[in-house]
Structure 1
Amino acid sequence: MNFGETIKQIRTDKNLTQTQLSEGILARNHLSQVENSNYFPSYDRVFMLLDRLNITFEEFLFVQNNLQPHDKQQFRVNVYESASLNDSEQLKLLSLDADRLYKDTANICYYHYSLVCKAVVEYNKGSSITKEMIHYVEPIKKYLMDMDTWYIYELKLFSNIIFSLNVEEAVFFSRKAFKRLHSFRCFMEYQHTEQHLYLNLSTLCLEHEDFTTAKSFAKTAVDTAKNYRLIYEKICSELNHAIACIKLDEDKNSYEIIKKNMLILEYLEFDSLHEHFSNFLRKFDIVMDA
């Protein structure tokens, strides 16, 4: 559908007349011309119409695309899901697709997605940061550091490339990220991005054996996951927190927390993620009772 057809469909679906939708925004006959694809309103009028229809621009594009996500949006979701589950085989395929799409469209986001996929695949080989992994994300790091102001896309990218930084750099730039992220707290993506930043910071600190800082970030990641009811993220954060506690000789019930969450991952058949944390436990010489 084109713009006018989509406006008309949403308007009629919501039982609004042209007069009700157009009042105070543009003349009714202008709205009629819009719906018949004979006139395109200014952008401020477009967003006023969408606001009266109680629909976001992203939702509008979804309807216009016949209730199908746009390619870039779907690709982003696929990368996020595969990276979260440490699915290296799927990430390899997505990396190839991203390279092709970048060549076809010259859209830099596909270049970034390809690098993220390759970096996560490299990390999954031994659940550790390697020079090859850092090499893959270096162009993203440069892209971010050359910008004075970050938006949601850049904030999410930063969360993904935290592992290319040392702890001091990560904490420094995270302050900037959290301050900027707070401006976008009215967006749904805010919740996931905030939680993942804390989770990834805790993982980075574990990698550098800064267990005190790792424990602090993991505790915040757990609390944030609880607040936003992010179940999967809560599991990963609790595992990071328990590992840090054990390494700090603050065991308490950490072994039980690890055992419980590893069983949940196994039950949910998150095999790649289960393997990742199994490798993590071995790396830190944490032996679980059979």
Structure 2
Amino acid sequence: MKGYGEITKQIRNGKGYTQKHVSDNLLTQGAFSKFENNNTDINFATMREIINRLGITFEEFFYIQNDYQYSKRDDIITQFYRLTYNDEAVLRVLLDKCKQYLKEFKEDQQVVHISIILDGLIFLAKTGDFELAKKTVEPVWRDLSKRNQLYIADLYMLNAILFFFPLPTVLQIKQFALRHIALYGNFRHVSRLQINISMNIALLLMKDNKYSKAHREILNAIFLCKKEHDFILLSICYVRKGICLNHLSQSGEKWIRKGVNMLMTLEQFSLLEMVEEEIKQY
């Protein structure tokens, strides 16, 4: 990868900014020129202000530095965050990426945990054996449950392992997770995390024939989906809303049709197959 200074120079020139505009009251022009030519380093506070003056985020800076693509690590984490359904083929591809990455970076605990969760989800998809799958992911739960503070990556991992626990434990985990999510307010992507948690808990409640409570969770997820303009997840929510209403002696068919039609319109055909299996099951 190119050095920080070289990327700074690339972005600065691309925006038509002068060295003085970016370095004023931070560094002398000579020191800034040395930095751009990768002849010297600068401290974090100075780098943060330079990135602010360039009008970009740290995430975009590193994306550009990696030749306009995610690093292997960021690619793994981003794909893990985006998991919607436990599609075994998708899980296996992502697990393979984890294994390849961990050959080089064995001590990356976050990716180790993601690989353990993927192993558990694949085992569950193949066998349907919740107890053995739960044993696979227990090391992740033991680590997360000991922490005083959970961060975004931790919360996504916690959401991914909800299926491995009995419903009363899941509802306790939900409160534990929401306390930490509340700290993030409107932080980027946090609403999607709340949507995923509500959708997963709704499915677990449906499995336990608690359709009234599942319906409440789904209504919460629908509200957040609309707020985030997440129409793929909204489609799934509509289907689950319809299923719940059918079990509550109300007409849910129009919501099921609406969700299915949205997935067809969005050309989410593999997701549509999984949703149709869920409709048959319930």
Q: C-alpha separation between the residues in 1 aligned to 2:281 and 2:135?
A: 23
Structure-1 residue corresponding to 2:169? 169
Cα-to-partner distance string for 1:126-158 (whole Å, 9 max, x where unaligned): 8x6722332332222112112110111111111
1:227 to partner: Cα distance = 1.0
- What amino acid does structure 1 have at the position aligned with 2:51? L
CA RMSD in angstroms comes to: 2.3
1:275 and 2:273 are equivalent in the alignment: yes
* Structure 1 residue ranges without an equivalent (≥5): 285-290
Assess if the C-alpha contact under 8 Å between 2:72 and 2:101 holds in 1.
Answer: no
Answer 1 or 2: higher relative contact order, Cα 8 Å, separation at least 6: 1
Assess if the C-alpha contact under 8 Å between 2:26 and 2:46 holds in 1.
Answer: yes
Structure-2 residue corresponding to 1:32? 33
Structure-2 residue corresponding to 1:11? 12
Assess if the C-alpha contact under 8 Å between 2:239 and 2:259 holds in 1.
Answer: yes
Structure 1 window deviating more from structure 2 (135-144 vs 59-68): it is 135-144
Q: C-alpha separation between the residues in 1 aligned to 2:196 and 2:274?
A: 17
* Structure 2 residue ranges without an equivalent (≥5): none
Assess if the C-alpha contact under 8 Å between 1:219 and 1:241 holds in 2.
Answer: yes
Structure-2 residue corresponding to 1:287? none
1:85 to partner: Cα distance = 4.7
Structure 1 window deviating more from structure 2 (39-48 vs 170-179): it is 170-179
Structure-1 residue corresponding to 2:59? 58
Structure 1 window deviating more from structure 2 (184-193 vs 31-40): it is 184-193
In the TM superposition, 1:82-101 aligns within 5 A as: 83-101=83-101
Structure-2 residue corresponding to 1:104? 104
Assess if the C-alpha contact under 8 Å between 1:203 and 1:214 holds in 2.
Answer: yes
Structure-2 residue corresponding to 1:159? 159
- What amino acid does structure 1 have at the position aligned with 2:212? T
Aligned residues between the structures: 280
Q: C-alpha separation between the residues in 1 aligned to 2:201 and 2:139?
A: 20
Cα-to-partner distance string for 1:189-245 (whole Å, 9 max, x where unaligned): 223212212112212222222222211111100111011100001011122222222
In the TM superposition, 1:219-238 aligns within 5 A as: 219-238=219-238
Report the CA distance shift for 1:13/1:148 in structure 2 as closer, same or farther (over 3 A).
Answer: same
Percent sequence identity over matched residues?
22
Cα-to-partner distance string for 1:90-143 (whole Å, 9 max, x where unaligned): 3223323323422431112322222332333344458x6722332332222112
Q: C-alpha separation between the residues in 1 aligned to 2:208 and 2:126?
A: 18
In the TM superposition, 1:93-132 aligns within 5 A as: 93-106=93-106, 107-125=108-126, 130-132=130-132
